C-alpha cells in the first residue's frame, strides 16, 4: 500500500473513504450538507473501540464514504486504540475502496504522541490488509484492495506525522517482502530462490550482496552447516547482505536468520500431519531480509549486516545420521543426536562467521523449537541474550510496536544438558526446557559479541484457516534498528 500525508480541510478531500471518529465525521458531514443523512445512518452506531460503520454518502459529496471509528469520548488505552484500528482494517477488507484518508487528530491515546499514534495505526493496517497472491487458477472474486492511504494532520502535527508515514511505509514494504517469502511454496522458495531475492536488494547503491555456495561453505570449515544441507539435492547457501547507511568506521549491527526452506526433520523424520507448515521454517530468514529491506527503504543512517543460513533438511542418502560428529567453523565439535534439531547447526556456524564484522550486536531469528510454542504460544516470541542492555532494547522495541517478546534464561545450569561422551557438545538435551537448551547451544558460539536470540516458532506464522506468514518479528526488529539510527 502507498502511504502519504495530507493537510487541509477534510470536507475538501476527494477520496473513496474518509476514516474518522464519530465527532469528526459529523463535522465533515455538515460541511458536505449531509449532516441529517449521516445522523440517520449512524443512529444505532455504538461509539466504542472495536466498532466501525461504513456510510455511503450522496453522489454530490466529494467524500464518497465515511468510515466511522468507535472511540468514545475519553482518551483510549493503547489496547483499545489497537482494537479501534483493527475494526477499521476489517471494514476496509471487504469495502470497494481503493484510496482513503485517515483522520486521527481528535483521537487521543494514553501514552502516545502523534508519531507513535500514526506508526501504530499504519503497522496494524499493513499487517491486517496484507493479501498474498496465491497460486490458485480459479480464485473466488475478491473486493478491490485498498492501494493508497493518506494520513491527515494539521500544521502542528505535520513533522511528526510525515516521519511516521515514512517509517510506516518502510515497514509496510519490509513486512510484505517477508510475508511473501514465507508464503511461497517450498518447491519455489528454495535456498537458491532466497539468494536471488536477496540479490535484488543490491539495486540500491548502498547495498552489497554475496551468496556463498555449499562447496565454499565446506572449504571454509562450516561442518555443522553443511551437515544439514548435504542430504538435499538443492545446495545450501549463506546469503550475506551488507547495507552501509553510515560511515565505514561505524561498527554494524548484525541480523542472522534461520532459512530452512523445508524441514522434514531429516533422518529423525517428522510426523506427516501438518508437515506442509515446515515451509515456514525459513521465516527467521524472511524476517531479517524484510527488516533489511525496510531499513533500505527508510534510508536509515546505520550499517547493517544480514546473514541468512539457507538450506533444506531432507532425508537423502547423504543426510546426517544420529550419532554423527561434525566440526564447526569455531573448531568446536558437535554430536548430532537428533537431525531435526538442524536450525542450531546452521546458525552456530553463521554466528561464528559474523565475528569477522566486529558487530555492535548480533540478533539471530529462528523458528527454532516447538518447546517455545508450548511455553509462550503465539502471542510472544522467546528472547534469550548474553547482554541485558541488548535484551532490554529489544523488549522496549517490541512493546512500542506491540510485537512483544518474553525474556527467558540462558543460565549455565542448563548447559549440562548438552554434554556428550563423543564431542564437545550434543545438539540436543532432554525434553525439559527445550527452548532454553537450544539457546544455550547457540550461546557457545556467541561469546565474542553482544548477542540475542529470538525464537519465533509460535509467532512467525499461523496455522488453521488463517494459515500463513505473519511477518513477525519484522516490526520489532525494524523498531530496534530505527532506535539505533
The pLDDT value given to residue 140: 60
Please give, one letter per residue, the 3-state secondary structure of the chain: CEEEEECCCHHHCCECEEEEEHHHHHHHHHHCCCHHHHHHHCCCCCCCCCCEEEEECCCCCCECEEEEECCCCCCECHHHHHHHHHHHHHHHHHCCCCEEEEECCCCCECCCCHHHHHHHHHHHHHHHHCCCCCCCCCCCCCCCCCCEEEEECCHHHHHHHHHHHHHHHHHHHHHHHHHHHHHCCCCCCCHHHHHHHHHHHHHCCCEEEEEEEHHHHHHHCCHHHHHHHCCCCCCCEEEEEEEECCCCCCCCEEEEEEEEEEECCCCCCCCCCCHHHHHHHHHHHHHHHHHHHHHHHCCCCCEEEEEEEEEEECCCCCCCCCCCEEECCCCCEEECCCCCCCHHHHHHHHHHHHHHHCCCEEEEEECCCHHHHHHHCCCCEEEEECCHHHHHHHHHHHHHHCCCEEECCCCHHHHHHHCCCCCCEECCCCCCCHHHHHHHHHHCCCCCCCEEEEECCCCCEECHHHCEECCCCHHHHHHHHHHHC
CA dihedral 472, 474, 477, 481 (to 10 degrees): -170
Q: Would you call 82 a catalytic residue per the annotation?
A: no
Which residue is catalytic, options 270, 327, 360, 444?
270
All structural domains of the chain: 2-136+145-152 (3.40.220.10), 176-484 (3.40.630.10)
For the chain, residues with pLDDT lower than 50 are: none
Question: Given its phi and psi angles, is residue 274 left (phi above 0), alpha (psi -120 to 50 degrees) or beta?
Answer: left
Q: Would you call 230 a catalytic residue per the annotation?
A: no
pTM higher than 0.85:
yes
The pLDDT value given to residue 60: 83
The pLDDT value given to residue 418: 98
Which residue is catalytic, options 344, 404, 450, 472?
344
The pLDDT value given to residue 419: 97
pLDDT digits (tens, 9 = 90+) for 404-433: 999 999 999 999 999 999 999 999 999 999
Amino acid at each position: 500500500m502507498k502511504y502519504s500525508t495530507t493537510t487541509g480541510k477534510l470536507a475538501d478531500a476527494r477520496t473513496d473513504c474518509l476514516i474518522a471518529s464519530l465527532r469528526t465525521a459529523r463535522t465533515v458531514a455538515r460541511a458536505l450538507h449531509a449532516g441529517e443523512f449521516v445522523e440517520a445512518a449512524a443512529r444505532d452506531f455504538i461509539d466504542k473501540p472495536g466498532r466501525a460503520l461504513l456510510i455511503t454518502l450522496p453522489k454530490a459529496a466529494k467524500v464518497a464514504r465515511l468510515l466511522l471509528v468507535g472511540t468514545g469520548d475519553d482518551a483510549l488505552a493503547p489496547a483499545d486504540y489497537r482494537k479501534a484500528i483493527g475494526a477499521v482494517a476489517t471494514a476496509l477488507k471487504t469495502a470497494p475502496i481503493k484510496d482513503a484518508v485517515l483522520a486521527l487528530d481528535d483521537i487521543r491515546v494514553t501514552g502516545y504522541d502523534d508519531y507513535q499514534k500514526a506508526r501504530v495505526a499504519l503497522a496494524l493496517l499493513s499487517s491486517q490488509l496484507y493479501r498474498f497472491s496465491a497460486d490458485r487458477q480459479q480464485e473466488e472474486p475478491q473486493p478491490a484492495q485498498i492501494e493508497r492511504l493518506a494520513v491527515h494532520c494539521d500544521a502542528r502535527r505535520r513533522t511528526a506525522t510525515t516521519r511516521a508515514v515514512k517509517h510506516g511505509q518502510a515497514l509496510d514494504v519490509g513486512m510484505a517482502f517477508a510475508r511473501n517469502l514465507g508464503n511461497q511454496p517450498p518447491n519455489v522458495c528454495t535456498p537458491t530462490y532466497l539468494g536471488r531475492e536477496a540479490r535484488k536488494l543490491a539495486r540500491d547503491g548502498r547495498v552489497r550482496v554475496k551468496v556463498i555456495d555449499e562447496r565454499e561453505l565446506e572449504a571454509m570449515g562450516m561442518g555443522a552447516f553443511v551437515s544439514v544441507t548435504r542430504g538435499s539435492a538443492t545446495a545450501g547457501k549463506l546469503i550475506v547482505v551488507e547495507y552501509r547507511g553510515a560511515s565505514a568506521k561505524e561498527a554494524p549491527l548484525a541480523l542472522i536468520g534461520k532459512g530452512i526452506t523445508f524441514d522434514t526433520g531429516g533422518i529423525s523424520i517428522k510426523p506427516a500431519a501438518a508437515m506442509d507448515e515446515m515451509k515456514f521454517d525459513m521465516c527467521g530468514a524472511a524476517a531479517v531480509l524484510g527488516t533489511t529491506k525496510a531499513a533500505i527503504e527508510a534510508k536509515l543512517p546505520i550499517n547493517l549486516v544480514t546473514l541468512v543460513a539457507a538450506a533444506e533438511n531432507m532425508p537423502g542418502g547423504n543426510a546426517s545420521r544420529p550419532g554423527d560428529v561434525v566440526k564447526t567453523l569455531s573448531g568446536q565439535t558437535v554430536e548430532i543426536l537428533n537431525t531435526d534439531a538442524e536450525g542450531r547447526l546452521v546458525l552456530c556456524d553463521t554466528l561464528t562467521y559474523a565475528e569477522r564484522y566486529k558487530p555492535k550486536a548480533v540478533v539471530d531469528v529462528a523458528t527454532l523449537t516447538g518447546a517455545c510454542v508450548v511455553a509462550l504460544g503465539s502471542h510472544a516470541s522467546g528472547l534469550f541474550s548474553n547482554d541485558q542492555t541488548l535484551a532490554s532494547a529489544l523488549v522496549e522495541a517490541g512493546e512500542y510496536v506491540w510485537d512483544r517478546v518474553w525474556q527467558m534464561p540462558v543460565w549455565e545450569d542448563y548447559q549440562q544438558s548438552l554434554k556428550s561422551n563423543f564431542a564437545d557438545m550434543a545438539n540436543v538435551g532432554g525434553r525439559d526446557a527445550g527452548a532454553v537448551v537450544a539457546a544455550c547451544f547457540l550461546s557457545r558460539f556467541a561469546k565474542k559479541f553482544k548477542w540475542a536470540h529470538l525464537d519465533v516458532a509460535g509467532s512467525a506464522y499461523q496455522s488453521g484457516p488463517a494459515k500463513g506468514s505473519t511477518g513477525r518479528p519484522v516490526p520489532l526488529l525494524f523498531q530496534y534498528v530505527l532506535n539505533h539510527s
